[in-house]
Structure 1
Amino acid sequence: MRKLMLILLMLSTLMLSACSILEKANNSLEYVNQATEHINRLSTFAEQAPQMIKDAATNPEAKQKLENQLNDFKKEIEQFNLINAPSIAKDIHQQLVDKNKVLLQEINKVVENGHLALDKLQNSQIITTINDITSLINRINNLGL
C-alpha cells in the first residue's frame, strides 16, 4: 500500500511539473507571436510610409489616414510595452521596449496635439527607428521555441 501511495505521489508530481513546463512553453510561444505581429505591422508601415507621405502632401484624406495610423501605433506600442514577457524573452523584450520608447518619441514629435505635421514627418527618424526594431525579429524567432 505504501509503495502504491508513493508511486501515485511521484506520478502526480511529474504530471504537475509537465503541466508547468507546457504552460511556460505556451506563454513563450504566445509572446513570440505577439512580438512578431507587432514588428510585422511596423515593418509594413515602414515599407508603405514613403508613398503614404507623398500622398498625404496632396490629399487631405490620405493625410488623415496617415495621422490616424500614427495615433493607432502610439496606442499599440504603449500596449505592447506593458506585456509581461516570459523569462526566456526578458532581455529581448526590454530591447524592444527601449526601441519602442524611441519610436514613441519620434511619433510624438510629428503628431502634435493629435495632428500630423508632414514636414516634421518627412525629416523624422521614424523609419530608421522601425528598421532598428525589425532587426530584432530573428532574435525573437530564435528564442529556442
Structure 2
Amino acid sequence: MRIVSIVLSVLLLSGCGLIEEVNQTVDYGKKTTQYIETMIGFQNDVSGYLNQDQLTTEDLEQLKGIMDDIEAEAESFNEIEPPSIAEGVHGQIENQNDQILQAIDEANSQIDQGEFDPNAFQDLEIVQSLQKLNEYKDQVDQFMN
C-alpha cells in the first residue's frame, strides 16, 4: 500500500510540473505577443516621424520619448524568463532587442549633436529590427498551439 501511495504521489507531482510548464508557456506566449504588438505600434509611431520632410525640435523630442519607451519595453522583455520550449525564439528576440537598443543610442547621440537625418534613420537597425520582431510572432503562435 505504501508503494502505491509513493507511485501515485510521484505521478501527481510530475503531472503538476507538466501543468505548470504549460501555464508558463501560455503566460510567456501572451507576454511575447503583447510585447511584439507594442513594438509594432512603436514602429508605426517612428515611421510617422521618418516620413516627414523636416523635423522640428518638438518632433525630435517626441521621437526621443518614443525611443525611450521602446528602450524600456525591450529591456523589460529581456528580463522575462522563458519556458524551455521558447528559449530559442526568446534568444532571437533578445538579439533583436540588443540591436534596437544600440540603434537608439546612436539615434539619441545624433539628435543630441544636432546631426539627426531622418532618411539615414531608416537605415539604422531600429527600424529593421522592429520589422523583424513581427516575424517572431508567428513562431510564438506555433508553440502556443
Give the alignment's TM-score, normalised by structure 1: 0.82
Question: In the alignment, what sits opposite 1:134?
Answer: 134
Alpha-carbon distance change, 65 to 92 in structure 1, aligned in 2, over 3 angstroms: same
Q: Deviations over 1:13-45 (max 9, x none)?
A: 121111100111111111111111111111112
Equivalent in the alignment of 1:43: 40
Rounded to whole Å, the distance in 1 between the matches of 2:117 and 2:20 is 46
Aligned positions, number: 141
Which of the numbers 84, 91, 95 marks the counterpart of 1:94? 91
Q: What percentage of aligned pairs have identical amino acids?
A: 23
Q: CA RMSD in A?
A: 2.5
Q: Which piece of structure 1 moves more, 91-100 or 117-126?
A: 117-126
Q: What is residue 73 of structure 1 aligned with on the other side?
A: 70
Whole-Å Cα distance in 1 between the matches of residues 63 and 113 of structure 2? 8
Query: Which residue in the other structure is 1:57 paired with?
Result: 55
Identify the range of structure 1 (77-86 vs 133-142) with the bigger mean alpha-carbon deviation.
Answer: 77-86
1:137 counterpart letter in structure 2: K
Task: Tell me the SS of whatever aligns to 2:80.
Answer: coil
Give the Cα–Cα distance (whole angstroms) in 2 for the partners of residues 100 and 142 of structure 1.
Answer: 21
- Residues 113 and 122 of structure 1, relative CA distance in 2, 3 Å threshold: closer
Q: How far, CA to CA, are the matches of 1:59 and 1:123 in structure 2? A: 18
- 1:81-100 deviation per Cα after TM superposition (whole angstroms, max 9, x unaligned): 12221110111111111111
Aligned residue identity for 1:91: G
Instruction: Give the direction of change, closer, same or farther, for the CA distance of 1:24–1:37 in structure 2 (3 Å limit).
Output: same
2:40 and 2:130 in contact (8 A); partners too: yes
Unaligned 5+ runs, structure 1: none
Query: Taking structure 2 as the reference length, what is the TM-score of the superposition?
Result: 0.82
Maintained 8 Å contact 2:33/2:140: yes
Q: Which amino acid aligns with 2:84?
A: S
